[in-house]
Amino acid sequence: MTTAAFTRAALSLATLSLGCLQGADVSDPDDLTAEPAALTLAVPRPPPYVRAWPVHLYTTGRAFYAVMSNGAVRVWGSGANLGDGSASATLTRPTAVVDLDGVVSLAPASDHVCALRSDKSARCWGESWTGQVGSGALPYANTPRPVAVQTSLRFESLTSVAYATCGVATGAEGRVYCWGEWSGLSNGLPAMVPTATAVTQSLGVMGAGRFVARSRDPFNAAVPLLWTWGPNDFVNATQHPQRGTIAAPVAMPHWTLGTTRFVLADLQLGAAHACALDPGGMVACVGGNSAGQLGNWSTVDRATPTGTSPPFTQAAAISVGWWHTCAVRRDGVPFCWGSNIDGQLGDPRNTNYIAAPNHVPGLTDVREIAAGADRTCALRGDSSVWCWGGVRGGIPGLPPTYYPTAVAF
């Protein structure tokens, strides 16, 4: 391809459909033919030699982060220690996280964020009162800019919850290492640097109030073993009967829907509910349901997992906000359900709540979605980012909107 042809291709316009909002129906997430009428907006994707573009999207609730194509990270929203070098900030547009490059993924929590770099090293920033940034520095303090996690270990993946981070170390053993308050040690003491837990052969760690780790079962490769440890008494998420802190990893019961085992591929926690995704794309939720955030056409809390209604069986990804839940269908259509009092569902036809999966009108070709405290953002296939919500004021400095609105990078 010639340079001119490459430039024309890189500048080709992608489209976003903002649908007609007439008629308050709740969409069937498995209906692959349902698409709203459209007003077309053109969004150019910049060529790689001009500037970087977003490739991954994350949220800590009130702040959103984008990993860029050049390995940098940008943040917008509000909170302490956003990574821009200041102790607290309100950032009205994406701003560079300082002292950070080569990033491939993020592990955000409400009080700190860790980044996994292309060389498999880790850097963290945010609150460090319990050692959760892994710097090993004394005294414990806030860390407003990324610092290196003090270890020679390299990690395949990272997961953070409030006050702690865990990572799966590279190598055949696949051991899980943690640092911070919930380090997985039997004595329950915090660790200022990565410390080995008893979990090996790990397939990954998820954060749902407590840590949940999956490891290989030598007798059944199709169903991983589950382990849980850490804070919180949200037993609904882990289905483990012990309330309060679990210091060291213990075996966790599998989720079931009725009598059918539900294999956890991803598990995320909101303010009072949790939702999970299985390898086949089915979504199930458990816990508080006052705003319909379980998506089962009710507002009744559930102590055991339940599928959404209608069943969401083609999900490629999920994201759990404080009082709402979102999922991306395999064809790129996003659905959200739960509280909509801040417009976080992207559909102004019902400004209270929607208790079943409902597509975000007009938004298509979504690759990733991040459900936050009072708003939601989505990353589309053309690398554009769109956000909506915050209509009651919400995050200072960010414009309130019921409709997906483009974020300028």
Spatial separation of the C-alpha atoms in residues 109 and 190, rounded to whole Å: 17
CATH of the domain at 126: 2.130.10.30
pLDDT of 12 over the 90 cut: no
Whether residue 397 sits in one domain with residue 409: yes
pLDDT of 39 over the 80 cut: no
Q: Which of 221, 253, 285 delimits the end of a domain?
A: 253
pLDDT at 394: 76
Whether residue 146 sits in one domain with residue 123: yes
Whether residue 378 sits in one domain with residue 301: yes
The per-residue pLDDT for range 226-239, each reduced to its tens digit, is 999 998 878 899 99
Spatial separation of the C-alpha atoms in residues 219 and 282, rounded to whole Å: 25
Whether residue 224 sits in one domain with residue 108: yes
12 part of a folded domain: no
Burial of 2 (0-12, 13-18, 19+ CB in 10 A): exposed
Q: Which residues contact 152 (CB under 8 A, 6 or more apart)?
A: none
Rg (C-alpha) for the chain, rounded Å, is 21
Spatial separation of the C-alpha atoms in residues 391 and 327, rounded to whole Å: 22
Q: Which of 205, 224, 253 delimits the end of a domain?
A: 253
Is the whole-model pTM more than 0.75? Answer: yes
Q: Are the CB atoms for 245 and 235 separated by under 8 Å?
A: no
Among the listed ranges 11-25, 292-306, 311-325, 391-405, which one has the minimum average pLDDT value?
11-25
Give which of 241, 314, 303 is closest to 277, Cα–Cα. 314
Domain encompassing residue 247: 56-253
The per-residue pLDDT for range 90-122, each reduced to its tens digit, is 999 999 999 999 999 999 999 999 999 999 999
Residue 28: its H or E element: none
Rounded to whole angstroms, what are the CA distances from 198 to 163, 174, 184, 185, 207? 20, 11, 8, 8, 17
Coil vs helix vs strand at 36: coil
Spatial separation of the C-alpha atoms in residues 33 and 269, rounded to whole Å: 31
Domain count of the chain? 2
| Confidence bin at 222 (pLDDT 50/70/90) | confident
